[in-house]
Structure 1
């Protein structure tokens, strides 16, 4: 599971660029619906 996550993230970073990097900063790695920061 973790290995696939890292491989997929590389593809997503390559495709979406900075927009995906910003998303990664805001969203936890394994539970995307629980944000790191409260809005």
Structure 2
């Protein structure tokens, strides 16, 4: 049971990290599009 809980926690953290990274890339891309002539 402990292992399963731990795996779910790790999976959740990974998903959050991926979402944060995607958002960061989207924001960065938008900023680049605005400022690049």
Report the TM-score range of the alignment, normalised by the length of the smaller protein: 0.3 to 0.5
Greater Rg by CA: 2
Structure 2 length as normaliser, TM-score? 0.41
TM-score by length of 1: 0.40
